[in-house]
Amino acid sequence: MTGFETEFTPLMSLAGGVLIGASAVLLMFLQGRVMGATGILSGLVTGTAPGDKGWRAAMVAGMIAGPLLVLAVTGQMPAVDVPVSWPMIAVGGFIVGIGVTYGSGCTSGHGVCGNARLSPRSMVATLTFMITCGIIVYVIRHVMGG
């Protein structure tokens, strides 16, 4: 083994996928909006349209409350193991922020909602995200030895 093992939890993964899919469908149905996490958060912070903050605040609160729901159901917080340092997380966040800006959306907006709508732009964006992520992980782990 390489030391980069993960624990796959099929039931938790399925439950999370169903909740993400259902919330994306409901948001599109009820608000006519795409569920892109970065767009929701930036709209909450910048206040893009009047009366727009309520549903955005509810979505962000739901994202934050998710681990608390897991705690209530299972009796323990979900394990989050991040195999990199805080500076690497900050650099990664900065790179993701640049990608979100130039890609006009994030993996949730393009990957979940855009692909479901068969948007060519979202398909290209998602492929770009995934290929870039794979290359960066390979370089950091195998070329740089991180």
Domain boundaries of the chain, sorted by first residue: 10-143
Joined together, the tokens standing for residue 26 give 């409901």
Provide the pLDDT for residue 17: 87
User: Mind giving me the DSSP string for 38-92?
Assistant: HHHHHHHHHT-STT-HHHHHHHHHHHHHHHHHHHHHHSSPPP----S-HHHHHHH
Provide the pLDDT for residue 1: 46
Match 């979940």 to its residue by tokens.
112
Highest mean pLDDT pick, 32-46, 96-110, 118-132: 118-132
Provide the pLDDT for residue 2: 54
pLDDT band at 5 (very low <50, low <70, confident <90, very high): low
Provide the pLDDT for residue 85: 84
Phi, psi for residue 103 in degrees, rounded to 5: -90, 0
Nearby residues of 83 by Cβ (< 8 Å), 6 or more positions away: 4
pLDDT band at 15 (very low <50, low <70, confident <90, very high): confident
Whole-angstrom Cα distance, residue 62 to residue 33?
17
Whole-angstrom Cα distance, residue 128 to residue 122?
10
pLDDT, tens digit, 9 for 90 and up, residues 77-94: 887 778 778 888 898 888
Provide the pLDDT for residue 123: 92
